[in-house]
Structure 1
Amino acid sequence: MALLVLDNLFSDRGSKYAAAGGPAASRGEAKALVKELKRRKAFAKATHNTWAALLPEGPVKDDDGESGAGMVILRMLEREELQNHVVIVTRWFGGKHLGGDRFRHVQAAVRAYLDEIR
């Protein structure tokens, strides 16, 4: 499985964001890529590794404590019609709550990832 990682995309009020992903044809493969990402020490220590994928078995997502973020990723994948691919957005919490800005940052991270693979 090929995992593409875009590290240190941007930061806001101390929170740092990254995006990663790769081909996944099942929920098991998607989870395996998330697990592979978390083998990297920095990503294992991240506050949130939120992910989503459009799979033959249906859409799947995991907020990993970042409520609503998985749905943001899923909607973007649906718009792009990107099937059988998991996209993971990682956030290291910087100590200040970002409110609604966190969703814009998730979108920006997904956009950066999609731009990279297209």
Structure 2
Amino acid sequence: MLTDRGSRYAVSGATVTSRAEIDAVLARLKHDKAYAKASHNTWAALLPTGGLKADDGESGAGMVILRMLERSELKDHVVIVTRWYGGKKLGGDRFRRVQDAVRAYLSDQGFAE
């Protein structure tokens, strides 16, 4: 878990091959009350049909995740970055924290960005 000025970030992911599978992963994640109450659950995935992303109110964060997945060539996988807002705006640093979370996930999965 990453923290910055009170905001907390977590990253998770799963193998997926369709939008329906992405929705199922998100539903399982949000079944946990902590994640359901999170400020943002941004995500991206590279599927055979192309890249998909969602900002969940964290404007631009889905694209950050998607670009990192493209660079690492991690396909058929959804990566979700969750943020619990800590009360202070982070400005551009919020993208750095999203990148830090995705980098940690990619490293744990054995992929290089």
Q: What TM-score range do you get, normalising by the shorter chain? A: over 0.9
Instruction: Tell me how far apart the structure 1 counterparts of residues 57 and 88 of structure 2 sit (CA, whole Å).
Output: 16
Instruction: Tell me how far apart the structure 2 counterparts of residues 17 and 100 of structure 1 sit (CA, whole Å).
Output: 15
> Percent identity over the alignment?
67
**Is 1:38 matched up with 2:30?**
yes
Instruction: Name the counterpart of 1:91.
Output: 83
Q: Residue 18 of structure 1: SS of its match in structure 2? A: strand
The Cα of 1:29 is off from its aligned counterpart by 0.6
Q: 2:101 aligns with which of 89, 109, 113?
A: 109
The Cα of 1:107 is off from its aligned counterpart by 0.2
Instruction: Name the counterpart of 2:61.
Output: 69
The Cα of 1:35 is off from its aligned counterpart by 1.1
Instruction: Write out the 4+ residue segments of structure 1 that deviate beyond 3 Å after TM superposition.
Output: none
Counterpart residue identity of residue 59, structure 1: G
Counterpart residue identity of residue 63, structure 1: D
Counterpart residue identity of residue 65, structure 2: I
Instruction: Name the counterpart of 2:2.
Output: 10
Q: Residue 108 of structure 1: SS of its match in structure 2? A: helix
Q: 1:58 aligns with which of 42, 50, 59?
A: 50
Which segments of 5 or more consecutive residues in structure 2 lack a partner in the other structure?
Answer: none
Q: Residue 54 of structure 1: SS of its match in structure 2? A: strand
Instruction: Tell me how far apart the structure 2 counterparts of residues 116 and 39 of structure 1 sit (CA, whole Å).
Output: 24
1:65-105 Cα shifts (integer Å, max 9, x gaps): 00000000000000000000000000000000000000000
Q: Residue 87 of structure 1: SS of its match in structure 2? A: strand
Q: Residue 91 of structure 2: SS of its match in structure 1? A: coil
**Is 1:20 matched up with 2:5?**
no
TM-score by length of structure 2 reads: 0.96
